Amino acid sequence: MNRVTEMELMRLLHGELPSDRASALRARLEREPELAAALARLRATWDGLELPPAAPVPLGFAVRVAARAREEKGRAISWATAPAWVRGAAAAALALGILLGAGAGRWTTGEPVPAEPPVAAQAQEEPASVATADDFASSLLDDSLAGSYWAALDETAESGLTEDTPASTGGGGDAL
Amino acid sequence: MGTQTFGQPATADPGWALLARVAAGETDAFTVLVDIHQERLLRLCERLLGDAEEARDAAQDVFLKAFRKAAELRPQGQVYTWLYRIAVNHCLNKLRRRRLVRFLRFSDPADEEDGGVSFDPPDRGADPAATLEARRRWQATRKAIEKLPAGQRAVLVLARFEGLSYRQIAEVLGITEGAVESRLFRAMRRVEGAQEMNASRVPRKEGLR
């Protein structure tokens, strides 16, 4: 059985096959036991997918979320309505912090940082701080390039099976 | 499939008027919006993430994102489509993060019991054997879904557990109906393989007892 026929069977199972094609396929199903067996297998796979009922909505969920939104809105308003000198001072403090942070290494050792450390020294060097796997994952995923990478990876994984998009996109047909 | 509980035309969707009020800063309108969609979104997040607690956090994040973006929206399509899209993207991002953390810890999801997800199934009544059997089926399904690539997982969950049609799924994910069909087909093949493997394991385990 080819892939197109299997996809037609899946559409029939999901009620997504237009009625004329559904009738034709049903006629074939009566004549071809192999096709009927394939449909039965698909149905068993589909029906075999079961999950427990979802947890009930937590009490007061909507009110809590709205309170968070109100909080966020309040913060945004207080920042937007702050006097210009307050915002300017905050920006200057941030810039100064960054500059100080960048220069801290040199100030603490009192020695100029060598342009390129020797290879042996590089091998023995310990990392300044050990980030957790979660931190690293977050930093990678926050990068839009990494996002594209994962999207591409998913697509590659998905195309592990034969890639073949059918031309037909009928809808709203009969379910079996 | 075909359970189209919210397939109204865009003009008839009162959600847009509500969103306009949210965009104008009415937090009461936002409470109403959350109230309308919370059950669906919580369920979707739980189906995608496999964990009720994580789903609550995710759903809250989704609603807050919607709150921040409300002003940028133009009434087009259905409000639920937009919310579902935010939810699916958010949950898939969380799943990728989880997968990356596992990779960095050199752990195999297959080594973790129940695929790293704990279930707390509700009491179904008096028959403990039936409860156990249901629990086994749920765990098998969860494991099979967890092994799917993100795109296939989203399509399968939206189709099987949310009852969306191919067209609705295509709208939510921003892909063509053909791509939905193709992803669903590949997901079904993988799930079928996983179910067969699971079925062949069960008698062997029982035989050892």
pLDDT in tens, A39-51: 999 999 999 898 9
Residue A78 Cα to chain centre, angstroms: 33
| Residue A25 belongs to some domain of the structure | yes
CA-to-CA separations, B40 to A176, B16, B90, B133, B203, in angstroms, rounded? 27, 18, 15, 27, 37
The neighbouring-strand residues paired with A17 are: A174
Say whether A66 and B134 touch across the interface (CB within 8 A).
Answer: no
| Residue A39 belongs to some domain of the structure | yes
Interface ipTM above 0.85: no
Domains of chain B and CATH, by start = 1-107 (1.10.1740.10), 148-209 (1.10.10.10)
> Is A175:B2 a contact under the CB 8 Å cutoff?
yes
Q: Which residue of A has its CA nearest to B177?
A: A169
Give a three-class secondary structure readout of B51-80: CHHHHHHHHHHHHHHHHHHHHHCCCCCCHH
| Residue A84 belongs to some domain of the structure | no
Q: Which residue of A has its CA nearest to B179?
A: A165
Query: Which residues of chain A register pLDDT less than 70?
Result: 76-87, 103-176
Q: pLDDT value at position A3?
A: 75
Q: Which positions in chain B touch A15 (Cβ < 8 Å)?
A: 1-2
| Residue A108 belongs to some domain of the structure | no
Q: pLDDT value at position B132?
A: 85
Q: Which residue of A has its CA nearest to B185?
A: A7
Q: pLDDT value at position A8?
A: 92
Find tokens 């086994």 and name the residue: B136
| Residue A10 belongs to some domain of the structure | yes
| Residue A37 belongs to some domain of the structure | yes
Q: Is B150 on the interface with A (CB under 8 A)?
A: yes
* DSSP 8-state code for residue A17: B
> How many domains in chain A?
1
Q: Which residue of B has its CA nearest to A13?
A: B1
Q: Which positions in chain B touch A150 (Cβ < 8 Å)?
A: 96, 150
Torsion of CA A140, A141, A142, A144, to 10 degrees: 100
* H or E stretch covering A122: helix A119-124
Q: Which of A10, A49, A62 lies nearest to residue B31, judging by beta carbons?
A: A62
Q: Which of B27, B177, B186 lies nearest to residue A169, judging by beta carbons?
A: B177
As separate numbers, helices (DSSP H) first and strands (DSSP E) second, chain B gives 8, 0
Q: Domain range spanning residue A18? A: 3-47
Q: pLDDT value at position A119?
A: 47
Query: Which residues of chain B register pLDDT less than 50?
Result: 2-10, 113-119, 204-209
Q: pLDDT value at position A130?
A: 46
Say whether A138 and B181 touch across the interface (CB within 8 A).
Answer: no
| Residue A27 belongs to some domain of the structure | yes
| Residue A79 belongs to some domain of the structure | no
Over residues B145-176, the pLDDT tens digits come to 988 998 999 999 999 999 999 999 999 999 99
Per the structure block, which two tokens stand in for B78? Answer: 């259905």
